[in-house]
Structure 1
Amino acid sequence: MTGRTYYAPNGGLPPQTQLLTDRAMFTEAYAVIPKGVMSDIVTSYLPFWENTRLWVLSRPLSGFAETFSQYIMEVAPGGGSDRPEPDSGAEGVLFVTQGELTVTLAGRRQVLKPGGYGFIPPGSRWAIRNEAGEPVRFHWIRKAYEEVEGIAFPEPIFAHEAEIEPFPMPGTEGRWATTRFVDPADMRHDMHVTIVTLEPGAVIPFAETHVMEHGLYVLEGKAVYRLNQDWVEVEAGDYMWLRAFCPQACYAGGPGRFRYLLYKDVNRHAKLGSTFGKTAR
């Protein structure tokens, strides 16, 4: 696959003449955060990060994301952090959309460019810097790792999507494909972050309804997405959150490919509230 592009927000503010009507939606089953929402005044800042701001796309919240948080980070030249993650139980995925990011993990330096992927296991000691001359923008997806007795912790992964052959969905002749950075059968991993690609005219031809929670960031193109009972137009730079079991389908109706970065929680039992882990009597 050639000609990959990765949309990244640049902030700014809309003019006073702009209409207020937009595509932003927040429901019990899903949320849509369009790219126009990602302005300067909705940015946040983090402790121990220098020359950095971020857009928080999702966070654990009643009626919203339950298993993960997702940020778009913007780090100016010379910025970064030597203490990026305050939670020793958190794992993370980094995906670069613009610029160049240097990650130091266990004494080894990794330089990630657009399309670059990094998996940071829980309990890691790592640092992150922008050593280039332009801002770097990247997604940072965080999840509390669910340890399982008898299964080892996952190891770090650094890769680029160009190095990975997309996996075509059965019966689609490659029109619907997924780029997988982690082996789906590897039980050490309790989350997957992949890239889904639909060629023009391709569809997800049924309303997927499943236990996985989703975060979807549109990297390229446009499409009409079915979310619960609604059809919603989305384009590069938009973000969608889908609650577990929210019906979803898609029609890629644009002139080019429709591609998105996808988060989902996987490979673990459903927690059973206060009875989880207790022996029935």
Structure 2
Amino acid sequence: MGYFTNQIGYPQDLLASRSIIKRKNYALIPPEGLVRNVIPGFENCDVTILATPKLGATFVDYLVTLHDGGRNQQGFGGENVETFVYVIDGKVTASADSTDYPLTSGGYLYCPAGVTLRLENTNGGQASQLFLYKRTYQRIKGYEAHVVSDNVKNLEKIHYEGMSDVTLQDLLPKELGFDMNMHILSFKPGASHGYVETHVQEHGAYVLSGAGVYNLDNEWIPVKKGDYIFMGAYVPQAGYAVGKDEFSYIYSKDCNRDVDC
């Protein structure tokens, strides 16, 4: 399997971890201790599986490093599975069926259910890193999702709930055909949520920059760039930025659907 951060041999300090796993509730997964998973179809890639139904999520998140020649031409997703890829760093060609989308850092591609996602590293021999997502699509009569590709550099930064030092970017359209969305939430140093949220939606979040302290089920937990956070339904949650840099993370949210009884 191997360690994702290439830390091998004996540790130089106490054997310890910042990981916190509370299934069906919340989780903090730092990069230290992540392992590489062998996934059919991924060639010359380091793939780490993050949130899954085994953790309590209704989706699956991955962290993928495509090395020189790294690709997935077999295809990712399926008839009832929607997929999303975000380029953390590097350059790739992502394909939705037979249509290619060249993506650089901050670029993304959403493939609705029934459209196959393929990936190829095009970063001139250097590695590219991706945040990858899949979920079983919840269909409703009269509405369909469609392929979406863009770069966050082109997206409007909305002042989050009236706060000028907290911004939100919506990566997907606010249309009923979409049963989920991806957002990037960014906090200037010292900024925070306006209140502790409690809601039915669940999140999988990857920290892109900076550091913060996050309230997860009323436990305040330090988090930083490279950490992954899972937030289950009804988990109280909020955060604030610490340090000198902007605290920013990309996260998924289920939306636009009623709840089964």
User: Into which bin does the TM-score normalised by the smaller protein fall?
Assistant: over 0.9
2:105 matched residue in structure 1: 114
CA offsets, 1:123-163, max 9 Å, x none?
Answer: 01342211331111101111100010111x21111110000
Counterparts of 1:16 and 1:23 in 2: how far apart (Å)? 15
* Structure 1 residue corresponding to 2:71, chosen from 80, 91, 105: 80
1:44 matched residue in structure 2: 37
Counterparts of 2:232 and 2:209 in 1: how far apart (Å)? 23
* Structure 1 residue corresponding to 2:171, chosen from 181, 185, 194: 181
The correspondence of residues 142-161 of structure 1 with structure 2, limited to 5 A, is: 142-151=134-143, 153-161=144-152
1:70 matched residue in structure 2: 61
Give the 3 Å change call, closer, same or farther, for CA 183–109 of structure 1 in structure 2.
Answer: closer
Give the structure with higher Rg (CA): 1
Counterparts of 1:170 and 1:222 in 2: how far apart (Å)? 21
- 2:132 aligned with 1:136: no
Q: TM-score, normalised by structure 2?
A: 0.93
- 2:218 aligned with 1:223: no
Counterparts of 1:107 and 1:56 in 2: how far apart (Å)? 26
Counterparts of 1:111 and 1:125 in 2: how far apart (Å)? 16
Counterparts of 1:36 and 1:73 in 2: how far apart (Å)? 15
Provide the alpha-carbon RMSD of the alignment. Answer: 1.6
How far 1:119 moved relative to its partner?
0.6
State how many pairs are aligned.
Answer: 256
The amino acid of 1:45's aligned partner reads V
Counterparts of 1:126 and 1:31 in 2: how far apart (Å)? 28
Counterparts of 2:112 and 2:45 in 1: how far apart (Å)? 23
* Greater strand share, structure number: 2
Give the 3 Å change call, closer, same or farther, for CA 10–99 of structure 1 in structure 2.
Answer: farther
Q: The residue matched to 2:16 in structure 1 has which SS?
A: coil
Q: TM-score, normalised by structure 1?
A: 0.86
Where structure 1 has 5 or more consecutive residues not aligned to the other structure, the ranges are 1-8, 273-281
How far 1:86 moved relative to its partner?
5.1
Where structure 2 has 5 or more consecutive residues not aligned to the other structure, the ranges are none
How far 1:48 moved relative to its partner?
2.1
Kindly indicate whether the alpha-carbon contact (under 8 Å) linking 1:225 and 1:233 is maintained by their aligned counterparts in 2: yes
